[in-house]
């Protein structure tokens, strides 16, 4: 059984720029790696209920990354749609199942989720990423996850 990998969208896969959201550098290779190595889920404020509609819309409306070819953009669209969304209620930690191995990639974990991780000795399951400030941060994260 593969480890579950929960990935946030904003600030991780989509970077905030003065012009609007842009697909993060290395997004497609990162997602291909993640899908190959893990059981991947979106864990984002864009969807609490397991619906990918808003996530797909966010990627469609994001500014294209100038380093991506049209083929890569098409492949990214298909890849994004293939990843299910985790269900959660009040805090993202609601998505985590006790006793199930997981890693969570997020740029700004909320205090309640951080406390949940700390109380259970699972803070090492969190990988903080910030493509807003570090455009190539997905490469670092992929190295951490390897």
pLDDT at 62: 95
And the tokens for 85? 């969304």
Give the tens place of pLDDT for each residue, 116-141. 999 999 999 999 999 999 999 999 99
Give the tens place of pLDDT for each residue, 17-73. 999 999 999 999 999 999 999 999 999 999 988 789 999 999 999 998 888 999 999
Positive or negative, the CA dihedral 86, 12, 26, 141 is negative
Whether the Cβ atoms of residue 139 and residue 40 lie closer than 8 Å to each other:
no
CA angle 28, 34, 2 (to 5 degrees): 160
Q: How many CB atoms lie within 10 A of CB 116?
A: 18
Residue 1 has pLDDT above 90, yes or no: no
Q: How many CB atoms lie within 10 A of CB 29?
A: 13
Give the tens place of pLDDT for each residue, 81-129. 999 999 999 999 999 987 899 999 999 999 999 999 999 999 999 999 9
Whether the Cβ atoms of residue 64 and residue 21 lie closer than 8 Å to each other:
no
């Amino acid at each position: 059984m593969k480890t579950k990998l929960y990935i946030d969208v904003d600030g991780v896969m989509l970077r905030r720029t003065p012009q609007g959201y842009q697909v993060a550098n290395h997004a497609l290779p990162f997602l291909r790696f993640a899908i190959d190595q893990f059981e991947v889920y979106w864990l984002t404020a864009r969807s609490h209920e397991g619906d990918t509609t808003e996530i797909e819309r966010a990627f469609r409306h994001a500014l294209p990354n100038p380093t991506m070819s049209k083929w890569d953009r098409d492949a990214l669209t298909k890849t994004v749609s293939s990843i299910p969304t985790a269900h959660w209620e009040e805090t993202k930690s609601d998505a985590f199942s006790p006793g199930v191995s997981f890693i969570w990639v997020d740029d700004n974990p909320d205090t309640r989720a951080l406390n949940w991780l700390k109380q259970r000795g699972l803070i090492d399951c969190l990988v903080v990423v910030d493509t807003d400030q570090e455009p190539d941060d997905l490469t670092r994260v992929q190295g951490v996850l390897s």
